[in-house]
């Protein structure tokens, strides 16, 4: 296993390691929100108004108004009827899984996040393409009373977007539920950061649900469930939701008031990603990406070489500690043109 690189501070584009500054191309804060000065000011406003934490139940008789305000904004952003915030993306996934795992037939895509995978579940299908073929065949040959399809939208480690077009071929004579994990798309991809929700089929026989961490592009320590008002209300009555503390309200205050910040940072990231992609175009057999701010590098030895140039990449074994490292460049909107040029020059030298 590669050595863990312990750092003592993080500016978004640089870190301190052993009191030395390194350019860093890792993490998931794609829009640089944790280091955004204007967002931090909004967060401080939220702390002044709501305090640093709120440990009560959302089903209590005294509840802050910011939750409904933020959830209405999130539903509008996604394009769903309703939305619900919780304290983590993991909890969002678990709450949705609890809605179905004891009675529905579940189709679970390879590589799904553990939050959406039943305990001890083992998939016998290795590739996404084979799995989609299997799902379509099963749905056309069996009349399940209720079937739920769980799938990722992005393989962020391989810097690939999953093809969702096959969902348009689902049968229309069954009650189906599609659950997508859009943690690496929501807030980043599509108009106003809507993510992949607009790509899901609209049909009276298909229910759509999105779960997502909000700790990636949006920079919020929480999770979201988006879907129908009926589904959201059912989840609100789940004892796990009732008994859990909610997302810190100050962050939702910052989110509601930061919409122009998010749009500006999305544009900055698009510009810096395009510039970097042009610079490394000659390396496209070794470095791959499907329109994402993440680039997979098929050369694990590069990390040690770049370390000598004070450049840190994302590189760690996956899916198990015994696996080969997955090495990636992760860009965010705090990176400058000079940063990615320095990185590109180093990659062109060694690859």
User: How do residues 96-124 score in pLDDT, each as one tens digit?
Assistant: 999 999 999 999 999 899 999 998 888 77
CATH classification of 9-35+260-350, choosing from 1.10.3720.10, 3.40.50.300, 3.30.70.600, 3.90.1150.10? 3.90.1150.10
Residue 340 corresponds to which tokens in the numbers above? 């990615």
Mean pLDDT, residues 16-24 taken together: 96
* Beta-carbon contacts of residue 278 (< 8 Å; ≥ 6 apart): none
Residue 203 corresponds to which tokens in the numbers above? 């049909």
3-state secondary structure of 229: helix
Q: pLDDT for 291-334, tens place per residue?
A: 999 999 999 999 999 999 999 999 999 877 888 899 999 999 99
Distance of alpha carbon 191 from alpha carbon 198, whole angstroms: 10
Cβ contact 328:184 at 8 Å? no
Distance of alpha carbon 96 from alpha carbon 209, whole angstroms: 8
Q: pLDDT for 149-201, tens place per residue?
A: 999 999 999 999 999 999 999 999 999 999 999 999 999 999 999 999 999 99
Question: φ and ψ at 113, to 5 degrees?
Answer: -65, 145
pLDDT of 320 reads 78
pLDDT of 108 reads 96
Tell me: pLDDT of 39 over 70.
yes
Cβ contact 85:247 at 8 Å? yes
Cβ contact 188:267 at 8 Å? no
Mean pLDDT, residues 143-149 taken together: 95
Angle between helix axes 249-256 and 66-78 (nearest 10 degrees) is: 50
* pTM of structure: 0.96
pLDDT of 120 reads 84
Question: φ and ψ at 84, to 5 degrees?
Answer: -140, 135
Distance of alpha carbon 343 from alpha carbon 312, whole angstroms: 10
Question: φ and ψ at 116, to 5 degrees?
Answer: -110, 20
Mean pLDDT, residues 262-278 taken together: 98
DSSP state of 76: H
- Residue in this structure with the two tokens 């709120």, named with its chain if needed: 54
Cβ contact 275:340 at 8 Å? yes
Cα atoms in the 13 Å half-sphere on the side-chain side of 75: 18
pLDDT of 69 reads 98
Mean pLDDT, residues 5-30 taken together: 96
pLDDT of 2 reads 64
Cβ contact 144:106 at 8 Å? no
- In this structure, the number of other CB atoms found within 10 A of the CB of residue 12 comes to 18
Q: Where do the CATH 3.90.1150.10 domains begin and end in the chain?
A: 9-35+260-350
Beta strands per DSSP E along the chain: 9-10, 14-17, 20-25, 82-86, 105-108, 147-152, 154-155, 160-161, 176-181, 206-213, 223-227, 287-288, 294-297, 311-317, 325-330
pLDDT band at 219 (very low <50, low <70, confident <90, very high): very high
User: What architecture is domain 54-247?
Assistant: 3-Layer(aba) Sandwich (3.40)
Q: Where do the CATH 3.40.640.10 domains begin and end in the chain?
A: 54-247
Tell me: pLDDT of 1 over 60.
no
For the chain, what percent of residues have pLDDT higher than 90?
92
Q: Mean pLDDT in the chain?
A: 96
Mean pLDDT, residues 227-232 taken together: 98
Distances (CA, A) of 317 to 2, 325, 327: 8, 4, 9
């Amino acid at each position: 296993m590669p050595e863990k690189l312990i750092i003592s501070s993080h500016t978004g584009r640089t870190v301190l390691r052993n009191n030395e500054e390194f350019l860093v191309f890792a993490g998931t804060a794609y829009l640089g929100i944790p280091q955004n000065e204007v967002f931090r000011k909004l967060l401080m406003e939220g702390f002044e108004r709501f305090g640093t934490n709120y440990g009560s139940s959302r089903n209590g008789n005294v509840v802050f108004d910011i939750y409904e305000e933020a959830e209405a904004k999130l539903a509008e952003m996604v394009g769903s009827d309703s939305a619900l915030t919780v304290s983590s993306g993991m909890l969002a996934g678990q709450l949705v899984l609890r809605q179905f795992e004891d009675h529905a037939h579940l189709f679970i895509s390879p590589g799904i996040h553990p939050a959406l995978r039943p305990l001890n579940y083992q998939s016998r299908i290795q590739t996404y393409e084979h799995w989609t073929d299997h799902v379509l065949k099963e749905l056309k040959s069996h009349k399940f009373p209720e079937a739920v399809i769980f799938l990722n939208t992005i393989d962020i480690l391989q810097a690939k977007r999953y093809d969702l077009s096959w969902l348009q071929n689902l049968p229309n004579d069954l009650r189906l539920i599609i659950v997508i994990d859009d943690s690496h798309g929501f807030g980043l991809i599509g108009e106003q950061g809507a993510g992949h929700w607009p790509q899901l089929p609209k049909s009276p026989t298909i229910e759509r649900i999105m779960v997502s961490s909000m700790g990636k592009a949006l920079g919020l320590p929480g999770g979201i469930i988006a879907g129908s008002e009926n589904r959201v209300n059912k989840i609100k009555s789940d004892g796990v939701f009732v008994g859990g503390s909610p997302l810190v309200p100050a962050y939702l205050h910052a989110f509601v008031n930061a919409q122009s910040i998010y749009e500006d940072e999305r544009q900055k990231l698009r510009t810096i990603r395009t510039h970097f992609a042009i610079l490394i175009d000659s390396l496209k057999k070794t470095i791959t990406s499907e329109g994402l701010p993440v680039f997979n590098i098929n050369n694990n030895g590069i990390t040690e070489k770049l370390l000598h140039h004070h450049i840190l990449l994302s590189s760690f074994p996956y899916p198990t500690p015994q696996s080969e490292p997955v090495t990636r460049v992760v860009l965010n909107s705090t990176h400058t043109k000079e940063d990615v040029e320095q990185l590109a020059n180093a990659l062109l030298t060694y690859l």
